[in-house]
Chain A
């Protein structure tokens, strides 16, 4: 960590690397949450169905799915 020992100037800090071990737990958590969110918005009640919503999820998100280029129906 010798490079971090030099204090950054008061203006724009030179890029400091965030240790990967500090990022990993966040990456796992955010990755999982993002995958679940994106699955429900893009695919649930369309190609596959986890909840028996009877088409309501698909229809509610219908226009967003088409316009954001997800395969809809």
Chain B
């Protein structure tokens, strides 16, 4: 059973990474290029700075590098998705495989991507000071960990409340609890704002929207592919069923 889930999780993860990479290339790359052009124009203006030749050409970065990064993250998330699916399947109610996959993809999108994104959104090149990358990385991963742990606790709490209050109220308590805790964390944790004064607001918005869009594609395809593949693995195919009855 675990093998069935893990193999399909990894396949779904690769498909999700591929789809997200295509989206990022088509929708995101123009904004990355625009931001890099601004960055280089700034560097050229400052005395003593000249546009540095990249170690890896932009053509490689925006194609092979982009794809490799997405496939790697897709593979990792696909494996984790299968493990978490194995833990929750059958433990949160009598839903079907596809419903569990959809709920997990939606929940993981909120806890892993959306909520951390709202606090520490994606930044294009030319936004963010080199010296603070360490502290920004720490803040991002601490907030991400808080979000994932809180979501896990919320699901566990909701599950234990379900017997007493019913699943509707229990789910509401879990969601409300997660929202309250994450709001407090977001208010208490430091804000990062390193957007240069002259950076175009529209470019920042377009880049962030494209970034979030790519992550939506990633989770959508992961959930849909995993649900489809595992459903097919655990149920007789229509062809077999037809052959059996014929």
Contact = CB atoms under 8 A, between A and B. Distances in A.
Nearest to B2: A26
Nearest to A53: B55
Interface string A23-64: 100110011011101101111001110000011100111111
B24 A67 contact: yes
B61 A62 contact: yes
A63 B1 contact: no
Among B79, B97, B207, max chain A CB count under 10 A is at B79
Interface string B17-37: 000110010001100100000
B55 A56 contact: yes
A40 B123 CA distance: 19
- Chain B's interface size range is 35 or more
Among A10, A35, A66, max chain B CB count under 10 A is at A66
Interface residues of A, number: 46
Contacts of B95: 15
Contacts of B215: 68-69
B80 A31 contact: yes
Interface in B38-67: 54-56, 60-62, 64-66
Contacts of A62: 56, 61, 65, 125
Contacts of A65: 69
Contacts of B161: none
A13 B66 CA distance: 40
Interface string B73-100: 1011101101100110111001111001
Contacts of A37: 72-73, 75-76
B133 A46 contact: yes
A2 interface: no
Contacts of A41: 69, 72-73, 76
Contacts of A6: none
**Which 6 A-B residue pairs are closest in the complex by CB-CB distance?**
A64-B69, A15-B90, A69-B122, A47-B137, A34-B76, A59-B56
13 contacts: A12-B97, A15-B95, A37-B72, A37-B76, A46-B137, A47-B133, A59-B61, A63-B61, A64-B69, A67-B66, A69-B122, A71-B133, A73-B133
Interface of B: 1-2, 6, 20-21, 24, 28-29, 32, 54-56, 60-62, 64-66, 68-70, 72-73, 75-77, 79-80, 82-83, 86-87, 89-91, 94-97, 100, 113, 116-117, 120-125, 128, 130, 133-134, 136-138, 140, 207, 210-212, 214-215, 234-236
Interface of A: 10-18, 20, 22-23, 26-27, 30-31, 33-35, 37-38, 40-43, 46-48, 54-56, 59-73
